Structure 1
Amino acid sequence: MNDLELIKQLRSEVAETDPDALTGARGQLLAVMARTPAPRRSRRPLTMRVTGLSAAAAVAAAAAIVITTGPAAVPVKPPASARDVLPLTSAKNVLLVAAISAERTPQGSGTYWHIKRESEDGRHFWGESWTTRDGQRWSRGEPGNGPGVVKEPSGTFWLGPADSGTEVSMEDLEALPTDPEALRQKVTAMQKGGPVGEHDIALLPLASLISELPAPAGVRSAAFRALAELPGVQRLGAVEGGEELMIQGGRHESKLVVDPETSQVIRTSWLPTATGGLTGTNHGLFIKLTTGWTDELPR
């Protein structure tokens, strides 16, 4: 979904038949996300007009910027972030803001893709892994392994659980579609069966992509947008670190804490792991996730 489609979807006040209005609103959204610095002073008054928008739509899209002469002139700053354009009042908006953040976050640099799963209080540990871009992996605390860091025979990831998902390499992740609907169809086709219902099949791999796999920015953004369209997604409210969501799909129910400003999944009640299993907690507990590229050696 491009910016124009997003504006049309969330701001029904903008007439779909008015391309000038949509272009103006799109410019406002891009200005918000770029955190544009205050414009330079001009010798003549200048007022930005958004033609074709209703007053409510114009105010919601962004504030008009007025520049005047004189040392005391202070330009009106646009909203600080995407959440000022898309209020976090629904699960869909939370996921769409996270999608915008994901798309604008460049892929990090580093030698290893690091994943760590532990309880919030630090009493439980569900494994840690370091994977290089060429497919080598070291892990610690994974089921069946001894103490300390172990060299794994394979550095692939599981897109969904092993009984219904498929193994993917970093090259496979790079090749996934960046269109939300195309991505949903692709990951659904990659599954071997399992849950009944197309959306339920898509839920697990989409959750993997946003939670702990090293997917590129465009793919992560598409995964957030695809999840936003699934039925059974609810916003439970603001919590420490972000927004708590509940995603129901057939026999699976997952609670996630997403920071929409960074697009990171901070905590989750369960997730399909990179090694093909399912990790989950009971009694309202969460798995604390740490993911990202690092040059720090496995230890």
Structure 2
Amino acid sequence: MNPIDELRAARPAHLADRPIDPRTRAAELSRAMSQPRPVRRRRRPARPVWSLGLAGAAAVTAVAVAVAMNGTASAPRAPDQQAGTRQAVTLSAREVLLAAAARAERQPEGKGDYWHTVSVRRTLFAAAKGGYRVLNQQRDEGWTPSATGPGQKRWGRVQSLGARPATEEDRQAWERAGSPASIEVTVPGKPKPMVLKTSPGRATTGHSRLTDGDKVFWLGRNVSVKDLRELPADPDKLKKRLLSWKGPDNDVPMQGDAWLFVISTGLIMDMPVTPEVRGAAFRMLAELGDVRVVENVTDAEGRTGTAVAINEPTLGGGVAEHRLIIDEAAGTALASEYVAVKPRGLQTGFEPGTMWNSIAVIRAGWTDDKPR
């Protein structure tokens, strides 16, 4: 995926001077309200603006979050019947995902006039001067109408939460640089530095009409809420449906498993699918061969969970580990994170193992309340 396109995709839709085609990868430095993503100007359908999955669904989330350190959480444990002690139990990715599927299917359905999502995106950047790194943070909120037709609008609200030094070591370097309130940061592929402010900004709210009258999310193609509600709850049928939507316009070529992981992450995290379909998505991922467990993780909001992960190619021959952090007990996704494995593109300059991109889901559910 072109890093410039990633940055451009972060521009809020209501500020754009032309239609923005979203993709669930995510104002420059964040995923504008629901991860819009522009595409190369070929003759193909416009992508709608609201989807997360980063987020919202799809893939190497443009410019988004990063936590500069690995979190820790207690690994699942079970009693040792013979020794009377407790031993660590390591679950396979398949076991983790099937457990999450069983919980997800039992979640209440819910209903409302709007599908309401709240997330916090964090992005790691290197300061242009001073030798330190900063973590940019942004809160995104979206309201997608359950009804379609003329006059229906999607709403979004975005607020900068400010940038801060990523670690204590970075803070000390920032202080040596004079503790600037405005920090110039470098972005690979951009000729000039960007400026981040350490103080929170004002929340701004905007709205736009639905793409093609009813399209609001991207799952390999533009889809409506109705399309999502009609997805099959059988894992094999769901896989077939999603693969049939995979078009030739992906900027980063991916094999089937990696693409399914990327697209399903957004579906699981915060799209208005039925509990049965969310469970089917977990079960579908459980059958992918390259998915593995990453233990002892804490998301950027401090919540503990179990991560399943897969390696994805990035622009310029790089590789990133894409993690989906799951609350197994609830059958819900907590966050989507990217860790540099072979740094290229937007990861250039970071050491392998650096968490450079993350979206934490705070809320995803139905509501009757309109944005105010």
TM over 0.5: yes
Cα RMSD, aligned residues only: 3.0
Percentage identity across aligned positions? 30
Partner of 1:131: 144
Could you say which residue in structure 2 is the equivalent of 1:168? 223
250 and 181 in structure 1: CA distance in 2 versus 1, 3 angstrom threshold: farther
Higher Cα Rg: structure 1 or 2? 1
Contact 2:258 2:310 in 1 (8 A): no
Structure 1 unaligned residues grouped into runs of 5+: 1-86, 271-278
| CA deviation vs aligned residue, 1:200-239 (integer Å, no higher than 9, x gap) | 3322221121011111111111110111111221111143
| Contact 2:155–2:207 under 8 Å retained in 1 | yes
Does residue 178 of structure 1 match 2:246?
no
| C-alpha distance in 2 between matches for 1:199 and 1:168 | 21
Partner of residue 230, structure 1: 288
Q: Where in structure 2 are the equivalents of 1:7-18 lying within 5 Å?
A: none
More displaced stretch, 168-177 vs 117-126:
117-126
Report how far residue 250 of structure 1 moved. Answer: 5.0
Decide whether aligned partners of structure 1 residues 196 and 247 sit closer, same or farther in structure 2, where only a CA change above 3 A counts.
Answer: closer
* 1:141 equivalent in alignment to 2:158: yes
Give the aligned partner of residue 117 of structure 2. 115
Cα distance, 1:288 vs. partner? 1.3
SS of 1:224's equivalent in the other structure is helix
Q: Aligned in 2, Cα 1:156/1:128: closer, same or farther, shift over 3 Å?
A: farther
Q: What is the CA-CA distance between 1:99 and the residue it aligns to?
A: 0.5
User: For 1:188, which of 220, 234, 243 is the aligned residue?
Assistant: 243
Aligned-partner Cα distance in 1 for 2:254–2:308: 22
Match of 2:105 in 1: 103
Relative distance call for 1:159 and 1:203 in structure 2 (3 A) is: farther
TM-score (norm 2): 0.48
Instruction: Tell me the equivalent position of 1:50.
Output: none
Higher helix share: 1
Deviations 1:21-49 (A, max 9, x none): xxxxxxxxxxxxxxxxxxxxxxxxxxxxx
Q: Residues 294 and 238 from structure 1, CA distance in 2 versus in 1: closer, same or farther, beyond 3 angstroms?
A: farther
**Is the 1:234–1:246 contact (alpha carbons within 8 Å) kept by the matching residues of 2?**
yes
Say which of 320, 334, 340 aligns to 1:266. Answer: 334
Contact 1:102–1:263 (Cα < 8 Å) also in 2: yes
Q: Do 2:120 and 2:138's aligned partners in 1 also have CA atoms closer than 8 Å?
A: yes
Q: Structure 2 vs 1, CA of residues 200 and 130 (structure 1 numbering), >3 Å: closer, same or farther?
A: same
How many correspondences in the alignment? 198
Question: Are the structure 2 counterparts of residues 227 and 295 from structure 1 closer, same or farther at C-alpha, using a change threshold of 3 Å?
Answer: same
Aligned with 2:256 (options 171, 193, 198)? 198
Which residue of structure 1 lines up, in the alignment, with residue 174 of structure 2? Answer: none
Q: Residues 1-299 of structure 1 correspond to what in structure 2 (within 5 A)?
A: 89-119=91-121, 124-125=137-138, 127-135=140-148, 136-141=153-158, 148-154=204-210, 156-160=215-219, 165-193=220-248, 194=250, 195-239=253-297, 240-249=303-312, 251=314, 253-269=321-337, 283-284=354-355, 286-290=358-362, 291-299=364-372
Measured after TM superposition, the shift of residue 296 of structure 1 is 3.2
Give the alignment's TM-score, normalised by structure 1: 0.59
- Say whether the 8 Å CA contact 1:197–1:250 is kept in structure 2: no
- Contact persistence 1:115–1:128 (CA under 8 A): yes
Aligned equivalent of 1:43 = none
Q: Contact (CA 8 Å) 1:199, 1:249: kept in 2 or not?
A: no
Q: How far apart, in 2, do the equivalents of 1:92 and 1:238 lie? A: 17
User: Aligned-pair distance for 1:249?
Assistant: 4.5
- TM-superposed CA distance for 1:126, in Å, is 5.4
Residues 273-298 of structure 1: CA distance to partner in whole angstroms, max 9, x if unpaired?
xxxxxx99x83153211212223331
Give per-residue Cα distances to partners, 1:149-188, cap 9 Å, x unaligned. Answer: 212211633334xxxx211111101111111111111101
Structure 2 unaligned segments of length 5 or more: list them: 1-88, 124-134, 160-201, 298-302, 315-319, 339-345
How far residue 127 of structure 1 moved from its aligned partner, in angstroms, is 2.6
> Within 1, Cα distance between the matches of 2:225 and 2:293?
31
Hey, what does 1:77 align to over in structure 2?
A: none
